[in-house]
């Protein structure tokens, strides 16, 4: 793919971002991050309260990207086969089997949204992990492939009743965990409450332009971005230091009030995690029309790509969200570049 094509694709990426921003207000940050993850071809974990617009956001993306969009709700009695098929008695009185949400769109499946993933059992998580990692599924003596699939999952960090915490290995497969918060701007909040266009989400989504680009070209575009955006030795050293700081923050004089940082971390970011961080940083640089990654590109994605991978001491696990945020901020503050 030529540089010219990459330039054109950049315009399309910005169009995609703009189209979703037209529909979803006050979420410019998360929308840019989701766009980044789409072009970095990584799965995304969304974190946020109910009713903040996560589903609408993903539907808008699915509409603009094209391809299949499927969704499933995580419940405590959900089993892996519920993702693959469901059985019913047909009009002819005979049992029938039809494809479940994973198989329904076939290879064209581009976005799969798993709502409240932490309500589902670990068996379901493990199936999803395979689909996320290998983008294949074995069922009915066949192997199904999902080359264009990106999984979006949502978990509610506040409620812990009847939930199954996603294991660190599963969390590590998500490229980003993006917090979705209600915009704290009075004008926007008033508009969300009183503007009638926000009352009908399905109609609202129709405002977003459909199929901005060919979704089946995304893998190739992503590969080209990674090959064409450079990282210098200084940046490699910087990212290496960031990685080390996630493993041993005490070495970098990182302090968090009320936390013993030397006991905080059980396991820092994984090699896969840092690799995903760099992939996202490259996409961020590309979206900002640069051919080299800057520290600011890493900063733009650092918290979202790293925080959910850190394994904390159980003493601090209940306060994960706030501690992880403070820790990633402190790491960026303390690790210098160059």
Partner 1 sequence: MHKFFSILLFFSVMGLNAYEDPNKFKDVDPKFIELAIIEPKQRVGYTVGDIIDRDITILIKKPYQLIEESLPIVGYEKRYRGQLLGMTLRDIQFNKKNTEDSITYKISLKYQIFTNNVVAKPAFITADYYRLINPAEPDKIVKVRIPELTIATSPIAIFGAVKVEDDMSTFRGPLSIETISSKMKVQYGAIGFVISILTLFYIYSRYTWFPKQSRFFSYIYRKYKKSNPNEKEIESFISALHHGFNQTINQALFINNKEELFKKNNSFKYIESEIDDFFKLSKAINFEKKTNFNQEEACAWLVIFSLHCRMCERSLIVDSGDIKKLGFK
| DSSP structure string for 220-258 | HHHHHHHHHSB--HHHHHHHHHHHHHHH-GGGGT--BTT
Q: Is 299 in the site for partner 1 (CB under 8 A)?
A: yes
CB of 244 to partner 1, least distance (A): 14
Cβ distance 128 to 113 under 8 Å?
no
Name the phi and psi angles at 289, rounded to 5: 65, 45
The CA–CA distances, whole Å, from 6 to 110, 224, 317 equal 21, 8, 42
Minimum CB distance to partner 1 smaller for 262 or for 291: 291
Answer yes or no whether residue 332 interacts with partner 1 by CB under 8 A.
yes
Using the contact rule CB under 8 A, the part of the chain among 1-9, 83-91, 132-140, 287-295 near partner 1 is 287-295
Structure tokens at 85: 């098929």
In the complex with partner 1, the residue whose CB is nearer, 96 or 236, is: 236
Give the one residue of 294, 301, 310, 327 binding partner 1; rule: CB under 8 A: 294
* Residue 293 within binding range of partner 1, rule CB under 8 A: yes
Q: Does 60 bind partner 1 (CB under 8 A)?
A: no
Min dist. Cβ of residue 288 to partner 1 (A): 12
188 near partner 1, judged by CB under 8 A: no
Class of residue 275 by CB neighbours under 10 A (exposed 0-12, middle 13-18, buried 19+): middle
Q: Which of residues 85-104 bind partner 1 (CB under 8 A)?
A: none
Q: Which residues pair with 154 in a beta bridge?
A: 46
Least distance in Å: CB of 259 to partner 1? 18
Give 53's DSSP letter. S
Nearest residue (CB) to partner 1, 137 versus 335: 335
Report the residue from 38, 128, 235, 264 that binds partner 1 according to the rule CB under 8 A. 235
Asked if 246 and 265 count as a contact pair (C-beta separation under 8 A), the reply is yes
Among the listed ranges 61-69, 166-174, 205-213, 295-303, the one in contact with partner 1 (CB under 8 A) is 295-303
| Contact status: 296 vs partner 1 (CB under 8 A) | yes
Residue 227 touching partner 1 (CB under 8 A): no
Shortest Å, Cβ 327 to partner 1: 14
- Write down the least CB distance from residue 54 to partner 1, Å: 28
- Residue 81: partners with Cβ closer than 8 Å, 6 or more residues away: 100
Are 335 and 302 in contact, with CB atoms under 8 Å apart?
no
Select 263 or 333, whichever has its Cβ closest to partner 1.
333
- Cβ pair 39, 288 in contact under 8 A: no
Q: Does 334 bind partner 1 (CB under 8 A)?
A: yes
244 is a site residue for partner 1 (CB under 8 A): no
Contact 172, 309 (CB under 8 A): yes
Cα–Cα nearest to 249, from 185, 324, 178, 143: 324
Phi and psi at residue 147, in whole multiples of 5°?
Answer: -65, -20
Does residue number 219 form part of the binding site for partner 1 (CB under 8 A)? no
292 binds partner 1 (CB under 8 A): yes
Per CB under 8 A, residues contacting partner 1 are 230, 232, 234-235, 290-296, 299, 332-338
């Amino acid at each position: 793919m030529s540089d010219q094509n990459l330039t054109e694709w950049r315009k399309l990426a910005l169009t995609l971002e703009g189209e979703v921003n037209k529909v979803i207000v006050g979420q410019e940050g998360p929308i840019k991050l989701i766009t980044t993850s789409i072009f970095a071809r990584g799965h995304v974990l969304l974190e946020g309260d109910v009713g903040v617009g996560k589903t609408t956001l993903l539907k808008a993306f699915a509409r603009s990207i094209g391809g299949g969009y499927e969704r499933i709700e995580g419940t405590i009695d959900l089993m892996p086969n519920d993702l693959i098929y469901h059985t019913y008695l047909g009009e002819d009185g005979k049992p029938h089997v039809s494809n479940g949400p994973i198989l329904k769109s076939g290879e064209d499946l581009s976005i799969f949204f798993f709502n409240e993933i932490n309500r589902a059992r670990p068996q379901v998580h493990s199936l999803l992990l395979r689909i996320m990692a290998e983008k294949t599924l074995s069922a009915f003596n066949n192997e199904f492939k999902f080359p264009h699939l990106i999984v979006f999952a949502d978990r509610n960090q506040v409620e812990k009743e009847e939930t199954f915490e996603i294991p660190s290995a599963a969390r590590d497969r998500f490229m980003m965990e993006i917090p979705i918060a209600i915009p704290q701007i009075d004008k926007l909040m008033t508009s969300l409450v009183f503007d009638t266009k926000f009352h009908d989400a399905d109609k609202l989504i129709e405002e977003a332009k459909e199929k901005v680009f060919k979704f089946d070209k995304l893998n190739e575009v992503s590969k080209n971005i990674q090959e064409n955006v450079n990282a210098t030795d200084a940046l490699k050293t910087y990212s290496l230091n960031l990685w080390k700081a996630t493993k041993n923050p005490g070495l970098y004089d990182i302090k968090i009030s009320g936390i013993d940082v030397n006991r905080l971390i059980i396991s820092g970011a994984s090699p896969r995690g840092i690799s995903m961080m760099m992939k996202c940083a490259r996409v961020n640089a590309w979206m900002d029309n640069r051919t080299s990654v800057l520290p600011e590109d890493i900063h733009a994605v650092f918290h979202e790509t790293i925080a959910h991978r850190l394994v904390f001491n159980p003493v601090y696990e209940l306060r994960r969200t706030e501690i992880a945020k403070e820790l990633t901020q402190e790491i960026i503050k303390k690790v210098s570049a160059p």
